[in-house]
């Protein structure tokens, strides 16, 4: 019988990345010449799962792949990353999800995804995954797959849950705010969900207050080069965690997923570690990833982090 005990369980999308590197991002209607093309493995769920696995978590993934060569390759890749794939299933007649990604010289990116087989994730898949769900410490979900199945999985999970509400929902459901233990989004998603601009930390603070009034127990807004800002019922005054020194951002693709995978890993490792330390560690991992090309290929393993110790590391943070 397969081992169902898991540190971090992730439900969501597997997507093949098709990445074009260019001097700058094209404007609407503009054709430019790129410098390099690569394929890679992506999808928010798979990215977050691999990020946690590389840090040492025992991980499992609930996802769908197309019955095509991309799907075959993806499953082999997940095995090579030590991810439990017993609930990663092929869907006949559907293509594996893909993402077209453009990356500029300054590390900025633009992404279009076609979710393909990921749209086939259903309530039945959640039911079939109950052993994994019942035996995981932390569960992570996103909104690249059908929301109904995602919310159902979060509702039946008894551990610590993290919802990365990305892409932002077309319509806000109260469940999105109240069911997960932690809601994690970036500044653009925060703006979409609150119907207000979030260009700076002061507006992020106001957005956090809006989320908390809706019943969110803990909300984290990642803010790119500025790091992250968060608040929770336990400590409602927002805290800003700044990024460590970054020599040069090479590729920001998947940095948010590195953050969430690291947050899940350190939460599963020891949920009593103060949240500011866990967020600080996640910012550290995300900053590491943006200084390397690729998505999952940019995520660190434990050996890459040297003597990094979340319990003793001093992060740069303050109340705002």
Q: Where is the binding site for substrate, in residues? A: 15-17, 43-47, 144, 257
* Binding residue ranges for K(+): 251, 253, 289, 292, 294, 298
Catalytic residue, candidates 105, 257, 270, 307: 257
Q: What sign for the dihedral angle of Cα 265, 218, 159, 74?
A: negative
- State how far the Cα of 111 lies from the Cα of 126, in Å rounded to an integer: 28
User: Which segments are annotated as binding site?
Assistant: 15-17, 43-47, 144, 186, 222-227, 243, 251, 253, 256-257, 289, 292, 294, 298
Q: Residues annotated in the binding site for ATP, as ranges?
A: 186, 222-227, 243, 256-257
**Rounded CA gap, 150 and 261, in Å?**
17
Q: Is 72 a catalytic residue?
A: no
User: In the structure encoding, which two tokens stand for residue 20, read together?
Assistant: 């074009």
CA 151 from centroid of its chain's CA atoms: 16
Catalytic residues: 257
């Amino acid at each position: 019988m397969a081992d169902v005990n898991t540190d971090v369980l992730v439900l969501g999308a597997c997507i093949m990345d098709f990445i074009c590197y260019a001097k700058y991002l094209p404007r609407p209607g503009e054709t430019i010449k790129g410098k390099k093309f690569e394929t890679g493995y992506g999808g928010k769920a798979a990215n977050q799962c691999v990020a946690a696995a590389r840090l040492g978590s025992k991980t499992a993934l609930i996802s769908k792949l197309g019955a095509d060569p991309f799907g075959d390759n993806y499953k082999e890749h997940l095995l090579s990353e030590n991810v439990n794939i017993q609930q990663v299933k092929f869907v006949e007649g559907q293509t594996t999800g893909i993402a077209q990604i453009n990356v500029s010289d300054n590390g900025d990116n633009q992404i279009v995804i076609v979710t393909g087989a990921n749209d086939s994730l259903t309530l039945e898949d959640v039911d079939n995954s109950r052993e994994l769900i019942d035996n995981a410490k932390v569960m992570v979900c996103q909104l690249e797959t059908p929301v109904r199945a995602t919310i159902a999985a979060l509702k039946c999970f008894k551990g610590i849950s993290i919802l990365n509400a990305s892409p932002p929902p077309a319509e806000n459901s109260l469940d999105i705010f109240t069911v997960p233990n932690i809601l994690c989004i970036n500044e653009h998603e925060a703006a979409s969900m609150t119907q207000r601009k979030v260009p700076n930390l002061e507006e992020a603070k106001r957005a956090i207050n809006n989320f908390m009034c809706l019943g969110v127990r803990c909300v984290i807004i990642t803010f790119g080069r500025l790091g992250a800002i968060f608040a929770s019922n336990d400590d409602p005054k927002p805290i800003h965690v700044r990024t460590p020194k970054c020599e040069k951002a090479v590729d920001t693709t998947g940095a948010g997923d590195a953050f969430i995978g690291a947050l899940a890993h350190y939460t599963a490792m020891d949920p009593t570690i103060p949240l500011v330390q866990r967020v600080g560690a996640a910012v550290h991992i995300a900053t590491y990833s943006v200084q390397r090309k690729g998505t999952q290929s940019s995520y660190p393993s434990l050996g890459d982090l040297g003597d990094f110790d979340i319990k003793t590391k001093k992060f740069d943070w303050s109340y705002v």
